[in-house]
Chain A
Amino acid sequence: MIAFLVRRILYAIPILIGVNVLTFLLFFIVNSPDDMARMQLGQKRVSDEAVVKWKQERGYDKPSFFDAQASGIRKITNTIFFEKSVPLFWFDFGRAEADGRDIAHEIRSRMWPSLAIALPVFIVGMLSYITFALLMAFFRATYIDIAGILLCIFAMSVSGLFYIIGGQYVISKLWNLVPISGYVGGLNAWKFLVLPVVIGIVGGVGASARWYRTIFIEEINRDYVRTARAKGLSEWRVLFRHVLHNAMIPILTGAVVAIPLLFLGSLITESFFSIPGLGSYTIDAISQQDFSVVRAMVFLGSVLYIIGLILTDISYTVADPRIRLQ
Chain B
Amino acid sequence: MNLPFKPVILTTDALIFVLFAVVAISAWYISRHQHLLAPWKKVARSRSGMIAAVILLVFVTVGLLDSLHFRPVLPGDAAVGKANYAVDVMSVFDVIAAPLKRKQEKTYSAPLSAYLFAKETVELPDGSEARVFPRLTYGGAHLKDPATEQTPDIVKRIVAGVAIAALAWNILLLCVTFWLSHRHGHSVRDTWSAIWKGHTEMPWREMLVTNGVVFLVFVPMMVLSAGYHVLGTDKVGQDVFYLTLKSIRTGLVIGTLTTLVMLPFALLLGILAGYLRGWVDDIIQYLYTTLNSIPGVLLIAASVLILQGVIDRHQDWFQTASERADARLFLLCMILGVTSWTGLCRLLRGESLKLRELDYIQAARAFGVSDYRIITRHILPNVMHIVLIAIVMDFSGLILAEAVLSYVGVGVDPTMNSFGTMINSARMEMARDPMVWWSLASAFAFMLLLVLSANLFADAVRDAFDPRIRGRLASPGFLSKYLPATPGR
Contacts and interface: CB of A to CB of B under 8 A. Distances in A.
Interface of A: 14-15, 18-19, 22-23, 26-27, 29-30, 117-118, 121-122, 125, 153-154, 156-165, 169, 196-197, 199-201, 203-204, 207-208, 210-211, 214-215, 218, 250, 254, 257-258, 261-262, 264, 266-269, 279, 282-283, 286-287, 294, 297-298, 301-302, 305-306, 309
A158 B484 contact: no
B128 to A, nearest CB: 39
Nearest to A266: B487
Interface in B446-480: 447-448, 451-452, 454-456, 459, 468, 470-471, 474-477, 479
A27 B306 CA distance: 8
Contacts of B404: 159-161, 268
Nearest to B308: A30
Interface of B is mostly: helix
27 contacts: A15-B289, A15-B290, A18-B286, A19-B294, A22-B294, A121-B487, A156-B455, A157-B448, A159-B404, A160-B400, A161-B485, A164-B485, A165-B427, A197-B487, A203-B485, A204-B486, A210-B474, A211-B470, A211-B471, A211-B476, A262-B488, A266-B487, A294-B298, A297-B295, A298-B298, A301-B293, A301-B298
A205 to B, nearest CB: 10
Given A30-B305, A250-B471, A305 B487 contact: no
Contact of B486 (A14, A203, A211): A203
Nearest to A285: B298
Contacts of B306: 26, 29-30
Per CB-CB distance, the 4 closest pairs between chain A and chain B, nearest first, are: A160-B485, A200-B487, A26-B302, A302-B293
Given A15-B289, A156-B396, A26 B486 contact: no
Q: How large is the interface on B (under 10, 10 to 19, 20 to 34, 35 or more residues)?
A: 35 or more
A185 B470 CA distance: 41
Given A161-B407, A267-B408, A301-B294, A214 B470 contact: yes
A282 B302 CA distance: 13
A298 B294 contact: yes
Contact of A118 (B286, B291, B440, B487): B487
A309 B301 CA distance: 25
A23 B293 CA distance: 11
A153 B298 CA distance: 28
A248 B290 CA distance: 29
Contacts of A208: 476
Nearest to A302: B293
Given A264-B295, A286-B298, A204 B487 contact: yes
B436 interface: no
B444 interface: yes
A154 B294 contact: no
Counting chain A CB atoms within 10 Å of each CB, the highest count among B294, B297, B303, B440 belongs to B294
